[in-house]
Amino acid sequence: MSKRDYYEVLGVERGVDESDLKKAYRRLAMKHYPDRNEGDSEAEVKFKEAKEAFEVLADTQKRVAYDQFGHAGVDPSAGGPSGEGFGDVFGDIFGDIFGGGGGRSRQRRGSDLRYRMELGLEEAVRGIEKKIEIPRMENCESCKGSGATAGSKPKTCDTCTGRGQVRMTQGFFSVQQACPACRGQGTIIDDPCRPCSGQGQVRKTRTLSVKIPAGVDEGDQVRLTGEGESGGAGVQSGDLFVQVSLKPHKLFQREGDDLHCDVPIAFAILALGGELEVPTLDGRAKLKIPAGTQSSKVFRLRSKGVTNVRHGHTGDLYCKISAETPVNLTKEQKDLLDQLQESIHLGGSKHSPKECSWADKIKGFFDEIVS
């Protein structure tokens, strides 16, 4: 009898990722698990079928061979799947449920750490080197991370014979889990180190110097390899990720590589034109204002933004002009404004094209309502 397609067995598409593959297998394994279906031979067959399909598709090399040659590409007699024990695969999927998968063989490195560093805009744009203090677990200097008193050594655990794992079997069901005697370490300490109480690690605060490259933005990270927490004797330490957070700036707002700035300006300069001094990260710059410029006009200063940390492109600075209404006027100033307004009003659309256009639209709107 020919075998069913493995993807069909698990009910997944060919491009399925590892996460969805495990979910599909977990669902079928729970449904057809023999202890839940006593006396149901069909459930046992489907359980074994799902296990076989998962074993192949979860292995990158086997999956490639299967996709290319079908069942022939993974036939044991042709050098296909090795037929590893049921507990090895099933324990990997259900280890988190039954407490397995915590053995020493899985401990490859220490934990990663994260540090949030607040920077001012100028610091992020130009780059900076800062010192930070990181509390972390480090190997005990007395026992060098072994947990045993200096001069002594941990002994091999008799329960798991140093493997760090034991196999729990109940009928057809078999699962690997962390050894309860040595808690997955594979060794037992008879004479624990006093400074670290046999843990092999102590908490310390370490001062580190971090170089932040020019052009970093909100959320960017700098990785310091090996500066995370210790994983114990003979185990690689984790990494430290320094995440950048930008403080609000009193003048500029950053959007990617561009900067934006609101610039208040006197009404007279907008009307008559002139030259305005505006701030940039490199100092002051001159901005020419044409006569008759309207409020909310945006002027672009090229290459006055931020140089991107990845590709070196420099953004622009956008200055948005906003007219400032005079306040606290004297009687003489008010009289002068009245005279100016009257003169402008007599000129009609010649001096105030938008205002006249708006007035015409309002008049037409009410005329339509009346009619």
Note the maximum CA span of the chain: 105
Question: Angle at CA 117, nearest 5°, toward 112 and 118?
Answer: 160
Considering just the CA atoms, what is the radius of gyration of the chain in Å?
36
Question: Above 80 in pLDDT, residue 258?
Answer: yes
Report pLDDT digits (tens) over 315-371.
999 999 999 988 999 999 999 989 988 888 787 767 777 767 767 777 676 667 766
Cα-based distances in Å from 358 to 39, 293, 295, 322, 348: 86, 18, 16, 20, 12
- Residue 162: name the closest of 145, 182, 148 by CA: 182
Contacts of 208 (CB under 8 A, 6+ apart): 131, 132, 133, 134, 224, 227, 240
> Which has more pLDDT, 11 or 174?
11
Give the residue-averaged pLDDT of 90-115: 56
Report pLDDT digits (tens) over 45-61.
888 888 888 888 888 77
pLDDT computed for residue 313 by the predictor? 92
Q: Which CATH superfamily is domain 113-246 in?
A: Heat shock protein DnaJ, cysteine-rich domain (2.10.230.10)
Q: Which fold has domain 6-84?
A: Helix Hairpins (1.10.287)
Count of other CB atoms within 10 angstroms of residue 183: 14
The 3-state DSSP class for residue 318 equals strand
Contact 202, 196 (CB under 8 A): yes
Report pLDDT digits (tens) over 56-88.
888 877 887 788 777 777 765 544 444 343 334
pLDDT computed for residue 41 by the predictor? 85
- Residue 267: name the closest of 332, 344, 361 by CA: 344
Question: Which amino acid is present at 284?
Answer: R
pLDDT computed for residue 263 by the predictor? 94
pLDDT computed for residue 314 by the predictor? 94
Report pLDDT digits (tens) over 203-238.
999 999 999 999 999 889 999 999 998 877 777 889
CATH 2.40.50.110 fits 252-324, yes or no: no
For CA atoms 337, 343, 347, 350, give the dihedral sign.
negative
Report pLDDT digits (tens) over 288-299.
999 999 989 999
pLDDT computed for residue 170 by the predictor? 64
Contacts of 279 (CB under 8 A, 6+ apart): 251, 261, 285
pLDDT computed for residue 341 by the predictor? 86
Quick one: tokens of 283? 């100092």
Instruction: Report how far residue 302's alpha carbon sits from residue 313's, in angstroms, rounded to the nearest whole number.
Output: 12
Report pLDDT digits (tens) over 142-198.
888 888 898 888 888 988 888 888 887 765 666 778 888 887 778 888 889 999 888
Q: Please state the domain extents for the chain.
A: 6-84, 113-246, 252-324, 339-370
Contact 115, 228 (CB under 8 A): no
In 133-160, which positions are buried (b, 16+ CB within 10 angstroms) versus exposed (e)?
Answer: ebebbbbbebbebbbbbeeeebeebeeb
